Amino acid sequence: MNNNVKKYVQDLDLKEGMSHRSTCPWCGGKNTFTATKEDGTVVYNCYKLGCQIKGATSTGMTAEEIMGRIRPRDKPVKQEVELIAWPEFVVTPSAEHTLHKKFVRRWGLDNEDLMYDVKDRRTVFPIRHEGRLIDGVGRALDGAIPKWYRYSGQADVYTRVVGRPSGVVILVEDVISAVVAAKLVPGLTGMAILGTSLGVAQMQQLDGFYRVIVALDPDAAHKTLAYKREIESWTGLDTRALRLDDDLKYKVESDIIKLKEMV
């Protein structure tokens, strides 16, 4: 198989600095195969659980690519993420928004940066990148569908940390659990998956951490173990599965003890 992998990667004909993502030609995983060329070497990997395809192969550099490295080049202009503008019906919460106030009290969100969607009656959690607003996720307060709503779709995850990040991240299913985890253990980064599955974009958000704790809701215990194995395979990070007795946002004492022991 090694020769087949090498030939497949070489046939991609990647230019220096280019990346490629596609369905894995060996296991069939959709968009799980990635390859990137740097310094004449293509590093490739399939992150799908059970697929063993990963490695690196030298493809060399063309004369043009070598000269491009030698010649001085203009400093690339940093592309800033565009700010999103809140719709007119997403406002700063006030005393008259009783559903929002009840939600905030229920989950201990008094000091959180929140907005309120008066049209759909949702508490909105802004998502920022480098201080710039890129997205928001709203939680319906009166049974509206969908329960969670994305306002731009630009963000891959929601994160919350209290104090200086410790390098440990806990992966949870919903935004409230991410906030609760961050408040329970200062320095711990709570990270909520914004969607139904763990993909390449979410995996990339784990860069910079040295330990990952996967703590999905109890009814998704099988997924917790699967995510643990996928993250280990994809990132090589110290990844641990936390078996919860209840959703983390309910702050069950046994779960808090296990979490603090694992951090």
Is residue 82's pLDDT more than 50?
A: no
Is residue 248's pLDDT more than 50?
A: yes
Q: How far apart are CA 262 and CA 170, in angstroms?
A: 10
Q: How confident is the model at residue 96, as a pLDDT? A: 94
Q: How confident is the model at residue 116, as a pLDDT? A: 97
147 CB-near residues (< 8 Å, 6+ apart): 139, 140
Burial letters 125-142, b for 16+ CB under 10 A, else e: bbbeeeeebbbbbbbbbe
Quick one: DSSP state of residue 58?
E
Task: Give the model confidence (pLDDT) of 31-52 as tens digits.
Answer: 777 788 877 888 887 777 778 7
Quick one: DSSP state of residue 7?
H
Task: Give the model confidence (pLDDT) of 195-209 as tens digits.
Answer: 767 888 899 999 999
Is residue 211's pLDDT more than 90?
A: yes
256 CB-near residues (< 8 Å, 6+ apart): 184
Q: Average pLDDT, stretch 179-194?
A: 95
169 CB-near residues (< 8 Å, 6+ apart): 159, 188, 189, 190, 191, 206, 209, 211, 212, 213
Confidence of residue 230 (pLDDT cuts 50, 70, 90): very high
Task: Give the model confidence (pLDDT) of 133-150 as tens digits.
Answer: 999 999 999 988 899 999
Task: Give the model confidence (pLDDT) of 93-136 as tens digits.
Answer: 999 999 999 999 999 999 999 999 999 999 999 999 888 899 99
Confidence of residue 81 (pLDDT cuts 50, 70, 90): very low
Structural contact between residues 200 and 34, judged by C-beta atoms closer than 8 angstroms? yes
Q: Is the full-model pTM beyond 0.75? A: no
Q: How confident is the model at residue 65, as a pLDDT? A: 57
Is residue 80's pLDDT more than 60?
A: no
CA distances from 198 to 12, 48, 177, 215 (A): 26, 10, 17, 13
Is residue 73's pLDDT more than 60?
A: no
Q: How confident is the model at residue 78, as a pLDDT? A: 45
Handedness of CA 127, 133, 137, 141 (dihedral sign): positive
